[in-house]
Every structure is written in C-alpha cells, then in structure tokens.
C-alpha cells in the first residue's frame, strides 16, 4: 500500500458479510481507522478479525479530528475512514476530511462497496437510468413538504433517507401531495427482516400505522410521467 494515504472505505449497510476483500485488506493494513461510532464499527472489525487503533470521527468532532488525521497523514501514516454503514461522505461524515486532503495535496482513494441508495433504488423496481438522491428528508414539516413537492414534479426517480419515527408523517404528506404516485419503502436492507413495500402513499400509510416501522429506511418516489 502507498504511504501517507487516506482510504475512504465503504462498509456493510446491514449484513456483516457484505464487505469486499479489498476493504478488509485495506482495514487490516491501515495504521489508524477513523470511525463514525467506534462501538458500532468494532463489531464489524472484530467479526473480520481486524485489530487496529480506532478513533471516533463524527459530526460533533469532525473539525478537530480532521486536523488530527491530516497530521497523522503528514507523518506518513495510512488512515482508513469508515462510517456506521455505506460510503463515508454520503449523509455521513467524510467530505470535510477529503476536501482537506485535496487542499494539502495528500493522496486519497475510494474503496467502493455497499450502498443503501443503490440497493433501495434497484429493489424498488422504479426507473433507474435517471435518479436524484436528496439525503435525509428535513425534520421540519414545511421544508419536508417542499422537498416532497419537488420530488412529485421530478421526471426522475427520487431517493431519500427517512427515520422510522417520521415515516408516517412523511407518507401522510405524500398522500396529500402525490396521492396517485407509486412509492417504495425499503427497510432494514440486507438484514433478516429486509422489506421492499410498494404502493400508493395512502396504502403504505395505512400499513405502517398498523405495523409501526423499525430500522433504517430508504424512501423511493417514482418519477412523474414525462
């Protein structure tokens, strides 16, 4: 492996077996692993027999830790960056460190792997050639409804992340804004209780009112007719 390199490593979104051989080799060879939640990541690392120093790297210490990690890289230590699930930087910490490496001309590379965005999109069965990923839906109802109205008018599939605690509010808003649009709730992807539930917003709302949702959720909105 090259020295003084930042490795941005994708990790499983649920099933611990969904990790590439290259990712395992990279994590085993790194001098330091920066993880969003060290307790969560240690489960993955121990599962694959990886024993390396681990430090936290999350939204509350991102600025301070970025400076520390850049200093490690300047000292010719390889650093691997991981998050709780999927690719760092996509609705997860990582972009700040990557930009700082670019500014300092420190080399970095991406180790690809699992993606909840693509898994949810493909499993929805909706149009896949063109899509728009908008991250987590806003918590505040006004901003959330604006996002959903934009999705309703979009001629490509829209992919969101959503909390199980807000899913029913979101589906209720969808029922008002786009009552005739197909929607898919992709839940607990790659895990034991994985679910792809498709239908109109009103139908999905009725189901999840009777069966409160749990786990991570990807919400996919079918494209408007062009």
CA 121 – CA 139 distance, rounded (Å):
22
Task: Identify whether 226 is part of a domain.
Answer: no
Last residue of a domain, which of 111, 133, 165?
Answer: 111
Sheet holding 79-82, edge to edge: 54-56, 32-35, 79-82, 6-9, 108-111
Give the per-residue pLDDT at 1: 47
Does one domain contain both 13 and 102?
A: yes
Give the per-residue pLDDT at 138: 97
Does one domain contain both 86 and 152?
A: no
* C-alpha dihedral, 150 to 211 to 127 to 145, nearest 10°: 0
Last residue of a domain, which of 81, 111, 141?
Answer: 111
Cβ–Cβ under 8 Å, residues 51 and 45: yes
Give the per-residue pLDDT at 146: 97
Q: Which of 76, 65, 68, 80 is nearest to 28 (CA)?
A: 80
Number of domains forming the structure of the chain: 2
Task: Identify whether 156 is part of a domain.
Answer: yes
Q: Which residue range forms the structural domain that includes residue 124?
A: 116-221
Give the per-residue pLDDT at 190: 97
Does one domain contain both 81 and 145?
A: no
Task: Identify whether 147 is part of a domain.
Answer: yes
Does one domain contain both 32 and 129?
A: no
Does one domain contain both 53 and 79?
A: yes
Last residue of a domain, which of 91, 111, 131?
Answer: 111
Does one domain contain both 163 and 72?
A: no
Give the per-residue pLDDT at 62: 93
Per-residue pLDDT of the chain (226 residues; tens, 9 = 90+): 445 899 999 999 999 999 999 999 999 999 999 999 999 999 999 999 999 999 999 999 999 999 999 999 999 999 999 999 999 998 889 999 999 999 999 999 999 999 999 999 999 999 999 999 999 999 999 999 999 999 999 999 999 999 999 999 999 999 999 999 999 999 999 999 999 999 999 999 999 999 999 999 999 999 998 7
Give the per-residue pLDDT at 135: 95
Q: Are strands 157-162 and 217-221 parallel, antiparallel or unpaired?
A: antiparallel
Does one domain contain both 107 and 10?
A: yes
Does one domain contain both 162 and 107?
A: no
In this structure, what CATH number is given to the domain that contains residue 42? 3.40.1010.10
Residue that has been written with the tokens 């991250």 in this structure: 135
Give the per-residue pLDDT at 3: 58
């Amino acid at each position: 492996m090259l020295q003084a390199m930042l490795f941005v490593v994708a990790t499983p979104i649920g099933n611990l077996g969904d990790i590439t051989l290259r990712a395992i080799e990279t994590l085993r060879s790194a001098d330091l692993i920066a993880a969003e939640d060290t307790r969560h990541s240690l489960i993955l690392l121990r599962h694959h027999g990886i024993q390396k120093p681990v430090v936290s790297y999350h939204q509350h210490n991102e600025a301070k830790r970025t400076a520390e990690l850049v200093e490690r890289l300047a000292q010719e230590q390889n650093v691997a960056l991981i998050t709780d699930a999927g690719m760092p930087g996509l609705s997860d910490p990582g972009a700040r460190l990557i930009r700082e490496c670019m500014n300092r001309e420190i080399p970095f590379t991406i180790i690809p792997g699992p993606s909840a965005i693509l898994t949810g999109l493909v499993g929805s069965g909706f149009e896949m050639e063109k899509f728009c990923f908008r991250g987590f839906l806003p918590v505040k109802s006004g901003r959330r409804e604006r996002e959903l109205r934009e999705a309703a008018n979009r001629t490509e599939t829209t992919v969101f992340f959503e909390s199980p605690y807000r899913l029913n509010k979101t589906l209720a808003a969808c029922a008002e804004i786009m009552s005739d649009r197909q929607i898919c709730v992709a839940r607990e992807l790659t895990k034991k209780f994985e679910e792809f539930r498709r239908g109109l917003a009103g139908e999905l709302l009725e189901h999840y009112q009777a069966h409160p949702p749990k786990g991570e959720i990807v919400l996919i909105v079918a494209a408007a007719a062009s």
